[in-house]
Amino acid sequence: MHEMALAEGVLQIVEDTIRGQNCTRVTAIRLEIGALSHVEPDAMRFCFDAVIRGSVAEGARLEIDTAPGRAWCHNCGHEVALPSLIAACPDCGGFQVQVTGGQELRVKDMEVN
């Protein structure tokens, strides 16, 4: 399950961000996970809960925003919604699409005390 490594990476980002700041605890973390990122939100929640035990983020609420898949179609020249990496352009049926969004995994923000 690669979500465990990703959750560890998120915790590292959080710890690096608050290092040197005058805060004692992280109470919430908001992630953006792209629909095409191959990251399962429920698995991420499970792994995150395990990873934060004993850390400055223990007990923190994890909020997940999902970014939709988007692509540019080389055949018809449209930017389109893309439900998966192997989907055809919904406008023309072509498969020459270049992903322009939906593959991200990032920490958007966090709440601290």
Give, as one character, the DSSP assignment of residue 17: H
Break the chain into its structural domains and give their ranges: 2-68+102-112
Per-residue pLDDT of the chain (113 residues), as tens digits, is: 699 999 999 999 999 999 988 888 999 999 999 999 999 999 999 999 999 999 999 999 999 999 999 999 999 999 999 999 999 999 999 999 999 999 999 999 999 99
Q: Are strands 70-73 and 97-101 parallel, antiparallel or unpaired?
A: antiparallel
Scanning the chain, the segments in alpha helix (DSSP H) are 2-18, 41-51
Report the alpha-carbon distance of residue 15 to residue 21 in Å, rounded: 10
The single-letter code of the amino acid at 6 is L
Say how many residues make up the chain. 113
Q: pTM of the full predicted structure?
A: 0.86
Give, as one character, the DSSP assignment of residue 19: T
Q: Which CATH number fits domain 2-68+102-112: 3.40.50.1220, 3.30.2320.50, 3.40.640.10, 3.30.360.10?
A: 3.30.2320.50
